[in-house]
Amino acid sequence: MREKEKTTVDRRAPLASLKGVGPVIAKALAKKGIWCVDDLFYFVPIRWLDRGTVRHISELEAGEDACVVASVDSYRSMFFRHARKKGFEVIVTDGTGFLSLKWFQWSKGYLQRICRKGAMLYVSGKVGNFGGILQIVHPEVAVLNEDETPGAARRIIPLYSQVDGVKQGFIRNIVSAALDLLGASPGGILPREREEGFGLMSFADAVRCVHVANGEDFDEKRGNDAVRRLILEEYLHFQMTLMSRKRKVRRERGIVFATDGPLYRRFMGNLGFELTGAQSRALAEIIADMGRATPMNRLLQGDVGSGKTVCAVASACVAIDNGFQAVFMAPTEILAEQHYLNVHRWFAALGVPVALLKGGMGRERRDVLEGIRTGATPIVIGTHAVIQADVKFHKLGLVVIDEQHRFGVEQRKRLKDKSRRPDVLSMTATPIPRTLSMVVYGDLDVSVIDEMPAGRRKVVTKVLSDDDRERAEGMMREELAAGRGVFVVYPLVEESENNPVRDAKSMAAELRHSVFPEYRVGLLHGRMSAKDKEDVMTRFREGEIDVLVCTTVIEVGIDVPRATMIVIENAERFGLSQLHQLRGRVGRGTEPSRCVLVASTKRTHLATKRLRIMEKTSDGFEIAEEDLKIRGVGDMLGVRQSGMPAFRIGDIVRDIDIMIEARKMAEELTAGLSDQEMAGFMRHIGDRFEDERDLCDIA
Ligand code: ADP
Ligand code: MG
């Protein structure tokens, strides 16, 4: 790509470099996230006022939404007796009549700007009638410039979201000033001929249009197109950044593993079941990665129980066959122990020693560390205890991180740093909607296991109300009478005064004494010691406990095939993906299983709607998509954790189609670039996503 001609204004220059922007205003704008000229361009108006739609006060009628342009006649603070509130009233007039504007809440800066006698205001809102006087309560107000008052030339006026201490007109003026400096040069990240090639409105035109810097040409549709063009610009910048980082990673040299060695073959031969098609595909992708010099950085996504662990263990065999060690890190002790038990069971038959490393192991710990250091232990399973400084590997080749999103970037990095560019396999059962994974994991390789092992049964799910509890208990009785295990999950461990939901401790007591005295009821929660937790889990697994009352400690990975029913109390308090995880605790054996979601009678209509999705589908991805729609991205992923970038105007869910377009463009653009050209291009556009460093490094 050709270096484009220099623009006359540096879009990344601080705002204070613009004429007329002093420190006070710069600070006020910074509060809105506007630091540089570029941010200003992206400060898209909340709406465009078409003066053609402005009405005379004399024509207004109560009940309608209207806009007027009027000047301040008088103002006063007052006590509204009927509302028992302090308020503020401004009377405006446009010469045809008077209109009262009222506020019950306001900021000082806001009213100070408005309350200048004669100030010309744009006012909009719902018109009311109060004792014969027309009024608007909490109107939207903007102070207009001289040239925007009636009779002036401007027809369309961009209205910006309120910046305290800065007038609307001022923003319009500095945007124009910045645009003048920009001159005829495009100013976007693409040279003009590329923009044309993609059939895009030029970046400069989009900015001018959005801020209505070219006067009468404007219409609403073009304005909206221009906004989309700016969103595209930002997404394209983001995608180019991802691609460039991916290239850098691709140039690194790691371990080249020889595949199809003896341990791998024996392990596969000894499995006792056939891999599903999806497992085979995922495993083939992993093993191909391991055979390449580029370090593997792959995410294995698969619903709970889809059989990710088997794939990970098979990859560990490849590492061990090559004389390397493998480490598995799991987020909780229960999970680490369970992985350990599984791997131990498989590997004992093959004569491969396995070590478990977790917190508080006392003496035993030294022996385990010694085995890891000398290489006598080829595979280590553990909690974050494995990242401690005194854990030294002889020759670590493969890092497996289970439920990777449960770990911080730093923790994941520390584990990887225990060797020189080991291959990294991350696993997650939290399904990221496909549409989103492309964005969040922009440059991570993803394998998906989207098929369950044969014989798995769909878990029949039912939403019940709190007052239908007896039905739930009846169903539990049926399972228990058949000698099966039942989970009962509560949102809280202990009773809490300010939280009126059921808690595990007191409900365990109630179930034990009043409801199921003839069965053995166990309790499991996060505040128990690791030893006690392990104990309870073992007893439940082996059938010595019938009903396991617990909190969400069982959310991930717990595998108890004899459990055939899960009851989740106060289900409306959980996210759908979380419910799906919990439900995945059952349906792991050959018996049909069920899940009962008990929701508070006081739940909202929306909550019911969400819970019904659980009855309809058992597809984790579909559930995640629905959850995403309802809860939004940040909420679902935890913005920082997932490294979700903060975009200035784009909304990743609403504008996902633009992101996909940006992705395609970025692929097309980078395809023709050498590494050097790519680096040059990136220097030219700059890295706006520096804070999101871990995007390419999610594992
Ligand atoms: P995940 O880690 O994805 O939640 P696991 O690997 O723990 O799932 O698998 C769940 C259970 O299913 C384990 O007991 C495992 O041995 C078994 N399993 C895995 N793959 C298969 C398969 N292809 N056929 C039958 N059982 C399988
Ligand atoms: Mg490799």
Q: What backbone phi and psi angles, to 5 degrees, belong to 66?
A: -150, 160
Judged by its nearest atom, the ligand closest to the C-alpha of residue 276 is 1
Judge whether 488 lies within some domain. yes
CA angle 481, 563, 456 (to 5 degrees): 115
- Residue 310 beta carbon below 6 angstroms from any ligand 1 atom: yes
Rounded Cα distance, 645 and 689, in Å: 7
CATH of the domain at 420: 3.40.50.300
What span, in angstroms and rounded, lies between the C-alpha atoms of 460 and 616?
9
pLDDT of res. 639 = 35
Residue 695 lies in a domain: no
Whether residue 663 has its Cβ less than 6 Å from ligand 1: no
Asked if 292 and 433 sit in the same domain, the reply is yes
* 205 in a structural domain: no
Cβ of residue 104 lying under 6 Å from some atom of ligand 1: no
Last residue of a domain, one of 583, 600, 617: 617
Per-residue model confidence (pLDDT) at position 310:
94
Atom of ligand 1 nearest to the CA of 402: 2
- Closest-approaching ligand to the CA atom of 307: 1
DSSP state of 511: I
**What ligand 1 atom has the least distance to the C-alpha of 306?**
3
Does the C-beta of 443 come closer than 6 Å to ligand 1?
no
Q: Which residue lies with its CA nearest to atom 14 of ligand 1?
A: 559
Quick one: which ligand is closest to 300's CA? Answer: 1
Please name the helix (run of DSSP H) or strand (run of DSSP E) that holds residue 104, with its range, or none: none
* 585 plus 474 within the same structural domain: yes
CA nearest ligand 1 atom 10, residue:
305
Question: Is 559's C-beta closer than 6 angstroms to any atom of ligand 1?
Answer: yes
Instruction: Indicate whether residue 302 lines ligand 1 (CB < 6 A).
Output: yes
Residue 627 lies in a domain: no
Note whether 576 and 531 are within 8 A (CB). Answer: no
- Exposed, middle or buried: residue 3 (CB in 10 Å: 0-12, 13-18, 19+)? exposed
Show the tokens assigned to 568: 């989740």
CA of 392 to the centre of ligand 2 (A): 21
Residues 322, 438, single domain; the answer is yes
Number of H helices, E strands in the chain: 24, 21
- Mark whether 336 and 442 lie in a shared domain: yes
Instruction: Say if residue 443 is in the same domain as residue 465.
Output: no
Q: Is residue 555 part of a domain?
A: yes
Coil, strand, or helix at residue 433?
coil
Binding site membership of 308 for ligand 1 (Cβ less than 6 Å): yes
Query: Is the same domain home to 343 and 441?
Result: yes
**Number of C-beta neighbours around residue 110 at 10 A:** 15
pLDDT of residue 601: 82
Q: Is 451 helix (H, G, I), strand (E, B) or coil?
A: coil
Ligand 2 centroid from CA 256, angstroms:
5
Residue numbers in the chain where pLDDT is lower than 70: 1-10, 83, 109, 145-154, 182-186, 214-217, 431-443, 455-456, 495-501, 555-557, 628, 630-646, 653, 687-699
Please work out whether the CB of residue 522 comes within 6 Å of at least one atom of ligand 1.
Answer: no
Q: Indicate the residue among 560, 589, 617 that finishes a domain.
A: 617
Beta-bridge partners for 77: 88
d(CA 222, CA 659): 20
Residue 664 located in a structural domain: no
Instruction: Tell me if 383 is assigned to some domain.
Output: yes
Residue 503: closest CA among 584, 548, 581, 570: 570
Compute the distance from residue 684 Cα to the ligand 2 centre, in Å.
32
Residues 508 and 417 in one domain: no
- Residue 430: partners with Cβ closer than 8 Å, 6 or more residues away: 403, 405, 577, 581, 624
pLDDT score, position 98: 94
Least Cα distance to 464 among 560, 599, 572, 338 occurs for 599
521-551 confidence digits (pLDDT tens): 999 887 888 788 888 988 999 999 999 999 8
Q: How far is CA 83 from the centre of its chain?
A: 42
Distance 309 CA to ligand 1 centre (A): 7
Query: What is the reported pLDDT for 454?
Result: 79
Please report, as a single letter, which amino acid is at residue 109: G
Q: Please name which ligand lies nearest the alpha carbon of 278.
A: 1
What is the CA(311)–ligand 1 centre distance, in A? 9
Q: What is the pLDDT of residue 7?
A: 43
Q: Measured between alpha carbons, how far is 175 from 399 in angstroms, rounded to an integer?
A: 51
pLDDT of residue 8: 47
How much is the pLDDT for 286?
97
Q: What is the pLDDT of residue 153?
A: 53
Ligand 1, residue 584: give the atom nearest the CA: 4
User: 542-563: b or e for each residue (b if 16 or more CB lie within 10 Å)?
Assistant: eeebbbbbbbbbbbbbbbbbeb
**Do 122 and 115 meet the contact criterion of CB atoms below 8 Å apart?**
no
What's the rounded Cα separation, in Å, for the pair 81 and 28?
36
Are 404 and 321 within one domain?
Answer: yes
Q: Determine whether the shortest distance from the Cβ of 306 to ligand 1 is under 6 A.
A: yes
Residue 89, classed as helix, strand or coil, is strand
Shared-domain flag, residues 511 and 583: yes
Count: domains in the chain: 3
Contact 279 CB / ligand 1 (< 6 Å): yes
In the reported structure, the alpha carbon of residue 353 is separated from the centroid of ligand 1 by a whole-number distance in angstroms of 22
Does 276 sit in the ligand 1 pocket, CB within 6 Å? yes
273 lines ligand 1 (CB under 6 A): yes
Structural domain boundaries, residue 533: 459-617
Are 410 and 374 part of one and the same domain? yes
Contact (Cβ atoms closer than 8 angstroms) between residue 124 and residue 139: yes
Same domain, 311 and 430: yes
Closest CA to 458 of 622, 586, 279: 586
The 10s digit of each residue's pLDDT in 570-579 is 898 887 877 8
Separation CA 464–CA 471 (nearest Å): 8
Q: In 8-24, which positions are buried (b, 16+ CB within 10 angstroms) versus exposed (e)?
A: ebebeeebeebeebeee
> Mapping DSSP to helix (H, G, I), strand (E, B) and coil, where does residue 163 land?
strand
75 shares its domain with 150:
yes
pLDDT of residue 695: 42
Q: How far is Cα 268 from Cα 317, in angstroms, rounded to an integer?
A: 10
Residues less than 5 Å from ion ligand 2, measured at CB:
254-255, 423
Does 632 fall in a domain?
A: no
Show the DSSP H helices in 79-118 as ranges: 108-114
Specify the residue with its C-alpha closest to ligand 1, atom 6.
307
CATH value at residue 149? 2.40.50.140
Q: How far is the CA of 288 from the centre of ligand 2 (A)?
A: 8
If one residue of 335, 347, 559 were mutated to test the ligand 1 pocket, choosing by the most ligand atoms within 8 A of its CB, it would be: 559
Which pLDDT value is given to residue 255?
Answer: 95
Contact 552, 583 (CB under 8 A): no
Name the helix (H) or strand (E) containing 35.
none
pLDDT attached to residue 49: 78
pLDDT for residue 385: 94
Q: How far is the CA of 528 from the centre of ligand 1 (A)?
A: 28
Q: Which of 129, 159, 189 is the last residue of a domain?
A: 159
* Cβ neighbours of residue 397 closer than 8 Å, sequence gap 6 or more: 255, 257, 319, 322, 324, 325, 326, 419, 422, 423
Ligand nearest to the CA of 556: 1
Mutation probe of ligand 1 site: the residue of 276, 304, 309 with most atoms within 8 A of C-beta: 309
